[in-house]
Chains A and B, each alone.
Chain A
Amino acid sequence: MDIIKIENLVKNFPVGKGFFTALNDVNLNFGKGEFAGFVGPSGSGKTTLLNIIGSLDTPSEGRAIVMDKSVSELTHKQSAKLRNEHIGFIFQTYNLLPVYNVYENVEFSLLLQKMSGSERKKAVMQALEWVGLTDKIKSKPNMLSGGECQRVAIARSMVKKPQIVLADEPTANLDSKNSHHILQTMKKLNEELNVTFLFATHDEKVMKYLNRIVTLEDGKVLSDKQNNLKL
Chain B
Amino acid sequence: MIKFLIKGILRDKTRSLLPIIVVSLGVFLTVFMTAWITGVFGDMIDLSARYTTGHVKIMTRSYAENKNQLPNDLALLEVEELLKTLNNEYAELEWVKRINFGGLLDVPDENGETRAQGPAAGKAIDMLSPDSKELERMNILKSIVKGRVPNKQGEAIISDNFAEKFNVNVGDELTVFGSTMYGSMMFKTFIVSGTISFGNAFLDRGAIIIDISDAQMALDMQDAASELLGYFKTGAYDDAKADTLKSTFNKKYSLIEDEFSPQMFKLRDQDGLAQYLDMADSMAGVMVFFWIIAMSIVLWNTGLLGGLRRYSEYGVRLALGEEKGHIFKTIIYEALIIGFLGSVLGTLIGLGASYYLQEVGLDFSSITKNVTMMLPQVYRAAITPQLFYIGFLPGLVAMTLGNALAGYAIYKRKTATLFKELEV
Interface residues, chain A, with chain B CB atoms under 8 Å away:
51, 54, 56-58, 76-77, 79-85, 87, 89, 91, 93, 95, 97-100, 104, 108-109, 111-112, 156
Q: What is the 8 Å Cβ interface bit string for chain B, positions 404-419, against chain A (1 contact, 0 not)?
A: 0000000000011001
Q: For the complex, is B109 an interface residue (Cβ under 8 Å from A)?
A: no
Would you give the shortest CB distance from A78 to chain B, in whole angstroms? 10
Question: B4–A104 contact, CB under 8 A?
Answer: yes
Q: Which of A54, A57, A81, A108 contacts B4 (CB 8 A)?
A: A108
Question: B320–A100 contact, CB under 8 A?
Answer: no
For residue A51, which residues in chain B have a CB less than 8 angstroms away from its CB?
416, 419
For residue A98, which residues in chain B have a CB less than 8 angstroms away from its CB?
313
Interface centre among B7, B318, B326 (most CB of A within 10 A): B318
Nearest opposing residue in chain B for A93, CB measure? B424
Known: A51-B419, A91-B424. A85 touches B324 (CB 8 A): no
Nearest opposing residue in chain B for A54, CB measure? B319
Within 8 A of A (CB), among B389-424: 415-416, 419-420, 424
Question: B416–A83 contact, CB under 8 A?
Answer: no
Question: A112–B419 contact, CB under 8 A?
Answer: no
Q: For the complex, is B183 an interface residue (Cβ under 8 Å from A)?
A: no
Q: For the complex, is B360 an interface residue (Cβ under 8 Å from A)?
A: no
Q: For the complex, is B62 an interface residue (Cβ under 8 Å from A)?
A: no
For residue B171, which residues in chain A have a CB less than 8 angstroms away from its CB?
none
Interface centre among B11, B317, B324, B424 (most CB of A within 10 A): B424
Q: Which of A76, A85, A89 contacts B323 (CB 8 A)?
A: A76
Would you give the shortest CB distance from B116 to chain A, in whole angstroms? 82
Nearest opposing residue in chain A for B9, CB measure? A99
For residue A57, which residues in chain B have a CB less than 8 angstroms away from its CB?
415-416, 419-420
Nearest opposing residue in chain A for B12, CB measure? A99
A85 to B320, CA, bound (A): 9
For residue A100, which residues in chain B have a CB less than 8 angstroms away from its CB?
4, 7-8, 11
Question: B321–A80 contact, CB under 8 A?
Answer: yes
Question: B415–A76 contact, CB under 8 A?
Answer: yes
Known: A76-B415, A108-B4, A111-B1. A95 touches B321 (CB 8 A): no
Question: A156–B320 contact, CB under 8 A?
Answer: yes
Would you give the shortest CB distance from B358 to chain A, in whole angstroms? 42
For residue B326, which residues in chain A have a CB less than 8 angstroms away from its CB?
80, 112
A80 to B419, CA, bound (A): 13
For residue A91, which residues in chain B have a CB less than 8 angstroms away from its CB?
316, 319, 424
For residue A95, which residues in chain B have a CB less than 8 angstroms away from its CB?
312, 315-316, 424
Question: B1–A82 contact, CB under 8 A?
Answer: no
Count of chain B residues with a beta carbon within 8 Å of a chain A beta carbon: 25
For residue B316, which residues in chain A have a CB less than 8 angstroms away from its CB?
89, 91, 95, 97
For residue B320, which residues in chain A have a CB less than 8 angstroms away from its CB?
83-84, 89, 108-109, 112, 156
Q: Which of B7, B416, B419, B424 contacts A99 (CB 8 A)?
A: B7
A85 to B322, CA, bound (A): 10
Question: A84–B415 contact, CB under 8 A?
Answer: no
Question: B424–A111 contact, CB under 8 A?
Answer: no
Q: Which of A79, A82, A89, A104 contacts B415 (CB 8 A)?
A: A79
Would you give the shortest CB distance from B118 to chain A, in whole angstroms? 78
Would you give the shortest CB distance from B209 to chain A, in whole angstroms? 71
Nearest opposing residue in chain A for B419, CB measure? A56
Question: A84–B312 contact, CB under 8 A?
Answer: no
Nearest opposing residue in chain B for A81, CB measure? B321
Interface centre among B11, B324, B416 (most CB of A within 10 A): B416
Task: Sample 25 A-B pairs with CB under 8 A, ordered by A number.
Answer: A56-B319, A56-B415, A56-B419, A57-B415, A57-B419, A57-B420, A58-B416, A76-B324, A77-B325, A80-B318, A80-B321, A80-B322, A80-B326, A81-B321, A82-B321, A84-B320, A85-B321, A91-B316, A95-B316, A97-B8, A97-B316, A104-B4, A108-B320, A109-B320, A109-B321
Question: B324–A112 contact, CB under 8 A?
Answer: no
Nearest opposing residue in chain A for B15, CB measure? A99
Besides A80-B321, A91-B319, A99-B8, 4 new A-B residue pairs in contact (Cβ under 8 A), listed by A number: A56-B416, A76-B415, A80-B318, A83-B321
Would you give the shortest CB distance from A142 to chain B, in whole angstroms? 12
A112 to B319, CA, bound (A): 12
